[in-house]
Structure 1
Amino acid sequence: MPPVISSWRDAILAALAEALRVVLAGIPVIIGALVILIIGWIIAGIFNGLTIRLLRALRFDQIADKAGLDEFIERTGVKLSPTEVIGLLVKWFVRIIALVAAADALNVPQVSVFLTQILLYLPNVIAAVLILILGALVARFVADVVKGAASSADLAADTANLLSGVTYWAILLVTIMAAIEQLGVARVLSGTVLTGIVGAVALTAALAFGLGCKELAGDIIAGRALQTNISPKDKITVGEHSGTVEKVGATSLVLDTPSGKVILPNTEVARSTVIKS
């Protein structure tokens, strides 16, 4: 055999032998990494089930529904309940731990570092979700209190809903900003952009409140004037309505007529001819 061919053969055989040695040496490492992944996936499934059971025992879905989180999740197209979403986050938290351990076993530091960064970020996501839930609950509660107080003050239903809505979205905006800060996104956005967003929302709310309260202010002013001339139990006629005055409220007059109670806005009464009998 010519020397050139013999040297080529020896080189090829040496390369194949080295490759086989590397493969054989790496098989235990690969098997170990696979075992880590399998165990990690099993533990992740167990933690997912335990988390869902715990949250359901705590009636987490009902709490999230009151906060409006259920509706938000449905709008995103996710077909999972809030409990299942949290369970999924916990499952992937454990899975990523297993992936990091497997990457370390395979001696792939770049993958390990990347997965570790994701692992360290997941608690921020969970914390942001909890902030949103708690903030939405507080916003809903305070908005209901404002609506109840407005109704007790004899404000019109539209006005009460407007005040309640402005209160809800104002608190929810602060909550969203807190959640964004928790995620670290706020540090990326410039202060000017954040100020612009807050200013735009505040301006919109102020305009809506001002336009909505224009009629309310007229009713309140008219009510003050009516209370000096009309008292409960007075028998009056306002336009086509005749009956006994039951109440002169802050924004409306309640008239007990033969056909039932009639509620008239104070501005309408003030503009009409009132006949006292």
Structure 2
Amino acid sequence: MDNFMELLLHSLRAFGITILQFVPNLLAMLIIFIAGYLFSRLIKLLFLRVFRIINFDSWCDKAGLTAIIRKGDIWSKPSDVFGGLIYWFLIILFLVIGLSALRLQTIDNLISQFFLYIPRAFSALVILIAGYIFAGFISRAVLITAVNSGYHYAKILAEAVRLLLIVLILAMALEQLRIAPGIVIAAFSIVFGGIILALAIAFGVGGIDAAKRIINGGEGRPVSPESKDKKKNNEKERDAEYF
């Protein structure tokens, strides 16, 4: 019985010592969280004021960034969007710093992996943003070219090109993040092949009229008066030679 009580007291004493050693780390984490929250809000307000001073929203309107944000179904002002991104970046940063103050081996390993993953996440984000802008630019160029060429399915063609580029960019971003690369490659192959097939069918259907005109020797195209006179003269010369 005495051995049991001694073992119990020893366990409780060890637990109490562990708690007492852990309390300062816990308090440090809470202080870092609170200070980080206040600092993040202060920096956000500071950036919003700077954005208003330099007319950041007007600059975004002229540069086309506002239109890009609207396409993403985000209706806040560009200054609010970028201010929010800065705020949440600082919140996550202080959250990681606060968790590291606990000095737990498991959390330290997760934090190390998190910081190693940040460059990949940043690269994927840059690929998505730049790729989205590039896809929109190419889609608009295809639309203008197709409309000027008289193609009946210009809008469908432009959207198909845009979708094709977005799928390609998304696959590149996921590959950069190393998220299930085998599944990503298989899914990309299926979607890419489907879009190519759809484009081929669209070109085939849209090119029926053009093919008919080519086969019929240009029938249906406008003919100038000079061409008509030249054609009549050629017919008269052939008739004269025949008779």
**What TM-score, normalized by structure 2, do the two folds share?**
0.66
Q: Quick check: 2:60–2:66 contact (8 Å CA) kept in 1?
A: no
| 1:190-220 deviation per Cα after TM superposition (whole angstroms, max 9, x unaligned) | 6444323321221122112222232344456
| Matched length | 222
The residue type equivalent to 2:203 in the other structure is F
The aligned residue for residue 36 of structure 2 is 40
The aligned residue for residue 176 of structure 1 is 170
Percent identity between the two aligned chains:
23
> What secondary structure is seen at the aligned counterpart in 1 of 2:103?
coil
Quote the Cα distance in structure 2 between the aligned partners of 1:182 and 1:35: 36
Alignment of 1:199 with 2:193, yes or no, is yes
Alignment of 1:150 with 2:146, yes or no, is yes
Higher relative contact order (CA 8 A, sep 6+): 2
> What secondary structure is seen at the aligned counterpart in 2 of 1:224?
coil
The aligned residue for residue 164 of structure 1 is 158
Q: Aligned in 2, Cα 1:171/1:231: closer, same or farther, shift over 3 Å?
A: farther
Alignment of 1:97 with 2:93, yes or no, is yes
The aligned residue for residue 255 of structure 1 is none
Quote the Cα distance in structure 1 between the aligned partners of 2:182 and 2:146: 40
The residue type equivalent to 1:38 in the other structure is I
Q: Which one has the bigger strand percentage?
A: 1
Quote the Cα distance in structure 1 between the aligned partners of 2:101 and 2:223: 89
The aligned residue for residue 70 of structure 2 is 70
1:112 is matched with which residue: 108, 114, 117?
108
> What secondary structure is seen at the aligned counterpart in 1 of 2:207?
helix
Quote the Cα distance in structure 2 between the aligned partners of 1:180 and 1:61: 32
Stretches of structure 1 lacking an aligned partner (at least 5 in a row): 235-277
Quote the Cα distance in structure 1 between the aligned partners of 2:108 and 2:119: 18
Q: Which one has the bigger helix percentage?
A: 2
Q: Aligned in 2, Cα 1:182/1:22: closer, same or farther, shift over 3 Å?
A: closer
Alignment of 1:141 with 2:142, yes or no, is no
